[in-house]
Amino acid sequence: MYVGQQRVVKALAHAHATSRLPHALLFVGPQGCGRYSLAIRTAAAFFCTGGRFPLPCEACATCRRVFAGNHPDVLRVAREAYAIEHGWMQPEGSKRAGLVIRVDQIRELARALRLRGFEGATRVAIIKDAHLMNDNAANALLKTLEEPGDDTLIILTAPHERAVLPTIRSRCSIMRFAPLATGDVRRVLDHLGVEDAEARAAAADGSVSRALEADLSDRSARQERAGGFLDAVRHERGAALLDAVEAQGKDRDEAQRLLDDVQRTLAAQIRTKTAAGEAVPARDLALVDAIDAAREVIRENNAHVQLTLEELALLRAL
């Protein structure tokens, strides 16, 4: 089931029907709004004979192979740690998995794309969280984007287009995803059989992942704490700020919750500004990225929680 993003779905359907699908697409939008879900469905839709492009039937053997990562013509790349965690790639000995997409991963993808498709003519590559490519990886991808080969589609996902190098961005057609309507989040949660779907959807600001992670307890105290942290990051300097950080999350779960709350508070403030026709300060946009990055680091590596929160706090200098 795919819910919402009707504008993007229609644009892709139209481009496909008129044989004008570009070779590279950049799906941008907030976390949990269905960028990767649509990327994998678009890939499946090339091979599925049920459904309608870009939404496949999701039930046939072909769809199941694509979703399970077993389709030879659908290639996926994500930051190393995620790819290993999800069985997309094998860990290399005792080396710690990286939090970025490395050049080797992109080179391997490029090699695979140069081979002919196995089952149909089309090959689809999905680069999840393309903003996590390091510079070498991004440069390696440029060549592939310049000469993608016929019948190749590359889909990149990122939180917003500025998060991706201009040289990459300019070679892609950008598809903008909006936060989901609360009712749509609810439908996805119901479909997944999640308890407290209504309350979770209401607390999620249009993000399915946030709804799934939402902690419904003790909201007002946490909102206050998040607001305090955000103020500290924006205004405090020096020791006072580090004290504020110190007093916040000591452990991983606590830090995740804090960042969730800060992200939600910040998103609400940005929405208010946008609705009022005011410019959103560049620092706030940088903060959105920094919080996303911090959440990833904390998810991967417990030991760095304090350090990450402190690095985030140092953003006040922006």
Question: What is the number of the residue whose Cβ is closest to Zn ion?
Answer: 48
For position 50 contacting Zn ion by CB under 5 A, the verdict is yes
In the shown chain, the binding pattern of residues 62 to 91 toward Zn ion, with x for contact by CB under 5 A and - for none, equals -x----------------------------
| Nearest to Zn ion of 48, 245 (CB atom) | 48
Q: What minimum distance in Å lies between the beta carbon of 99 and Zn ion?
A: 34
Stretch that binds Zn ion, among 48-56, 175-183, 269-277, 297-305 (CB under 5 A): 48-56
Q: Measured between alpha carbons, how far is 137 from 58 in angstroms, rounded to an integer?
A: 32
Q: What minimum distance in Å lies between the beta carbon of 12 and Zn ion?
A: 16
Cβ 171 vs Cβ 191: under 8 Å? no
* CA within 13 Å, CB half, 114: 10
| Nearest to Zn ion of 63, 309 (CB atom) | 63
Q: Coil, strand or helix: which one is 222?
A: helix
Backbone φ and ψ for 203, nearest 5 degrees, come out as: -95, 5
For position 97 contacting Zn ion by CB under 5 A, the verdict is no
Q: What minimum distance in Å lies between the beta carbon of 60 and Zn ion?
A: 3
For position 54 contacting Zn ion by CB under 5 A, the verdict is no
Strand arrangement, sheet containing 152-158:
74-77, 123-127, 152-158, 24-28, 173-176
DSSP state for residue 171 in the 8-state scheme: T
Q: Measured between alpha carbons, how far is 195 from 214 in angstroms, rounded to an integer?
A: 12
Stretch that binds Zn ion, among 32-40, 44-52, 130-138, 202-210 (CB under 5 A): 44-52
Hunting for tokens 């680091």 — which residue is that? Answer: 297
Stretch that binds Zn ion, among 43-51, 125-133, 174-182, 214-222 (CB under 5 A): 43-51
For position 56 contacting Zn ion by CB under 5 A, the verdict is yes
Count the site residues for Zn ion by CB under 5 A.
6
Cβ 44 vs Cβ 56: under 8 Å? yes
Tell how strand 123-127 and strand 152-158 pair up: parallel
Interacting residue ranges for Zn ion, rule: CB under 5 A? 48, 50, 56-57, 60, 63
